[in-house]
């Protein structure tokens, strides 16, 4: 039996997050991708981390008000000072088919996010104490 993975975060999209066309701003989703990735990155270190890169985010499907958006994460690489996290984004929405409402899940996007551990002076430091 395969393991069902829990999302790092799950968010219900609200009207305040929409653009003039009624879909959720891409920047709002980028912010949640960063937050979800940080949740995963903190499994590799207790130190302060900062985001240094977000690799190629392509929006495959729009996100609408009322969608329940799940951000699934996995650690891809752990280096000396950095950790790379893959974030997969999925929207769950209700659709009407043959006069009945059904839940539908769609892949929205995915990204790899790189975080670096830093000290109080914002200089890179090893993820783990030696």
Q: Which residues of 97-119 are buried (b: 16+ CB within 10 A; e: fewer)?
A: eeeeeeeeeeebbbbbbbbbbbe
Q: Which letter does DSSP use for residue 120 in this model?
A: T
Q: What pLDDT score was predicted for residue 128?
A: 85
pTM score of the predicted model:
0.90
pLDDT per residue of the chain (130 residues) written in tens, 0 to 9: 445 689 999 999 999 999 988 899 999 999 999 999 999 999 999 999 999 999 999 999 999 999 999 999 999 999 999 999 999 999 999 776 777 778 899 999 999 999 999 999 999 999 987 5
Q: What pLDDT score was predicted for residue 2?
A: 45
Q: Which letter does DSSP use for residue 128 in this model?
A: S
Q: What pLDDT score was predicted for residue 1?
A: 40
The residue among 43, 47, 35, 118 whose CA lies nearest residue 74 is: 43
Q: What is the pLDDT of residues 10-19, one digit of tens each?
A: 999 999 999 9
* C-alpha of 122 from chain center: 24
In whole angstroms, what is the distance from residue 91 CA to residue 48 CA? 30
Contact 52, 115 (CB under 8 A): yes
């Amino acid at each position: 039996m395969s393991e069902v993975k829990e999302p790092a975060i799950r968010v219900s999209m609200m009207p305040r997050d929409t653009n003039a066309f009624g879909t959720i701003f891409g920047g709002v989703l980028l912010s949640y991708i960063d937050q979800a990735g940080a949740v995963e990155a903190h499994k590799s270190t207790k130190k302060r981390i900062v985001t240094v890169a977000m690799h190629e985010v392509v929006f495959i499907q729009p996100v609408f008000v009322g969608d329940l958006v799940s951000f699934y994460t996995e650690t891809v690489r752990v280096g000396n000072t950095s950790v790379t996290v893959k974030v997969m984004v999925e929207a769950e929405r209700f659709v009407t088919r043959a006069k009945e409402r059904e839940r539908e899940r769609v892949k929205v996007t995915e990204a790899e996010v790189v975080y670096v551990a830093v000290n109080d002076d914002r200089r890179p430091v090893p993820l783990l104490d030696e």
